[in-house]
Amino acid sequence: MIDIKLIRENKDLVKENIKKKFQDKKLPLVDEVYELDIKCREAKLKGDELRKEKNEKSALIGALMRDGKKDEAEKVKKEVSKYGDEILELEKKEEQFRAKIHEDMMVIPNIMDPSVPIGEDDSKNVELEKFGEPVIPSFEIPHHADICARLNGLDKESAGRTSGNGFYYLMGDVARLHSAMLSYARDFMIDKGFTYCIPPFMIRSEVVNGVMSFEEMDAMMYKIEDEDLYLIGTSEHSMIGKFQGQIIKEDELPITLTSYSPCFRKEVGAHGIEERGLYRVHQFEKQEMVVLCKPENGMKFYEKMWKYTVEFFRSLDIPVRTLECCSGDLADLKVKSCDVEAFSPRQNKYFEVGSCSILGDAQARRLGIRMKTKNGNEYVTTLNNTVLATPRGLIAFLENNVNEDGSVNIPEVLRPYMGGKEKLIPKN
């Protein structure tokens, strides 16, 4: 949610931002908010004036009664009664105006950073930098489901019976490797000075509405039937919601957190659920990083955060690249975002394993998260970034560390979490 002052003072800027995001259908909302805001402030001003007059007249009644001027006092009482009816009507109008303004403002996109490339969809995202030299071995890399199968590590057939398409059982060494990667990601971020958290895995609708757009919520979230609770799609939702309605002391910022959670997503849309593998599933696990900071420090943290993800994957011998999200691929609350993509030697291309975003004060405005400064209370800036989302991260690891005989090399950083194993050996 943007500051309404932007619409009051520079609605052309807001409209131009909407056009750059290729959301022209939202342009009328800007003019609607502008007009409603004028009417709302007029109703408030008139109401304040009437309340002042009413208070003055009410005081006059007492004086007239003391002076024995009962008839005059009764006449003034009737006038005061009319004031009350008119004030109530104005308050009702003001409330209606505010509700409609809020409804419209919730779907007007945040103002993007000037550096965001302009493009209609993710095909126009821009490669920024590559890290590590991609290696395609002389042998054919198996599908990750086949790598797992040779290690007796994946059972989607049973998951289909218990839960349906898009679920899975990880078994044995593959399950242990999956957990080892998450444990390493946790410790990696703790070593960077982030505080480790395990948040609630369900949140209320007011928190969901505070951290994401309506379109994202409908496409992503699972709702608990007959309860005001949603399963989280990422721990960022819970972690930002933790500060809802809070006023944070300025000297407590920045707040740097790294959180673990399972994540649940519908994954509806054009891509669908991949039948065979683990690339797009309804349930996965994730190590996230979340930062609350002063606005002037937001971009510094943005640059730090995506670099941590790059460093993490490079420590696992996985080549990666960063991709700048274009305007049409940028979610409405985001100011700027980049994806970290891992190299797939099987497909000779990169695929997304993480995303880093700065949201300005959009989430803070929706959830009422402010910092107490000497100049008064101000909204904080929020950021989030994926350290590791797996099994997608597991896919990247397996493809980049598998050998021709089906064994999988374990990098040194993961061996303490794997009981000292240096290699996984196929079972069949």
Q: Supply the pLDDT for residue 95.
A: 93
389 vs 393: CA distance, rounded Å: 6
Q: Supply the pLDDT for residue 270.
A: 40
Is 57 within a domain?
A: yes
Please state the pTM of the whole predicted model. 0.89
**Which of 54, 70, 105 finishes a domain?**
105
Is 242 within a domain?
A: yes
What are the DSSP calls for 143-207, one per residue? PHHHHHHHTT-EEHHHHHHHT-TT--EE-HHHHHHHHHHHHHHHHHHHHTTPEEE---SEE-HHH
Regarding whether 410 and 287 lie in a shared domain, the answer is yes
Domain ranges, residue 95: 4-105
Q: How many domains does the chain have?
A: 2
Regarding whether 156 and 241 lie in a shared domain, the answer is yes
DSSP 132: S
Regarding whether 127 and 100 lie in a shared domain, the answer is no
Regarding whether 408 and 338 lie in a shared domain, the answer is yes
Regarding whether 96 and 133 lie in a shared domain, the answer is no
How distant is the alpha carbon of residue 280 from its chain centre? 19
Regarding whether 15 and 144 lie in a shared domain, the answer is no
Is 110 within a domain?
A: no
* CATH number where 359 lies: 3.30.930.10
Regarding whether 377 and 267 lie in a shared domain, the answer is yes
Is 374 within a domain?
A: yes
Closest to 128 (Cα-Cα) out of 290, 342, 321, 366? 321
Is 313 within a domain?
A: yes
Regarding whether 348 and 286 lie in a shared domain, the answer is yes
**Which of 105, 133, 160 finishes a domain?**
105
Q: Supply the pLDDT for residue 273.
A: 52
Q: Supply the pLDDT for residue 393.
A: 96
18 vs 236: CA distance, rounded Å: 26
φ, ψ for residue 336, nearest 5 deg? -165, 145
Regarding whether 127 and 82 lie in a shared domain, the answer is no
Is 117 within a domain?
A: no
Regarding whether 86 and 144 lie in a shared domain, the answer is no
pLDDT per residue, tens digit, the chain (428 aa), is: 899 999 999 999 999 999 999 999 999 999 999 999 999 999 999 999 888 887 777 777 777 777 777 777 777 777 777 777 888 899 999 999 999 999 999 999 999 999 999 999 999 999 999 999 999 999 999 999 999 999 999 999 999 999 988 899 999 999 999 999 999 999 999 999 999 999 999 999 999 999 987 677 777 889 999 999 999 999 999 999 999 999 999 999 999 999 999 999 987 554 555 567 898 899 999 999 999 999 999 999 999 999 999 999 999 999 999 999 999 999 999 999 999 999 999 999 999 999 999 999 999 999 999 999 988 999 999 999 999 999 999 999 999 999 999 999 999 999 999 999 999 999 87
Angle at 375 between CA 370 and CA 378, to 5 degrees: 20
Closest to 409 (Cα-Cα) out of 279, 314, 317, 310? 317
82 vs 50: CA distance, rounded Å: 10
Furthest-apart CA pair in the chain: how many Å?
A: 108
Is 113 within a domain?
A: no
Regarding whether 312 and 262 lie in a shared domain, the answer is yes
Is 358 within a domain?
A: yes
* CATH number where 63 lies: 1.10.287.40
Q: Supply the pLDDT for residue 268.
A: 57
Regarding whether 196 and 299 lie in a shared domain, the answer is yes
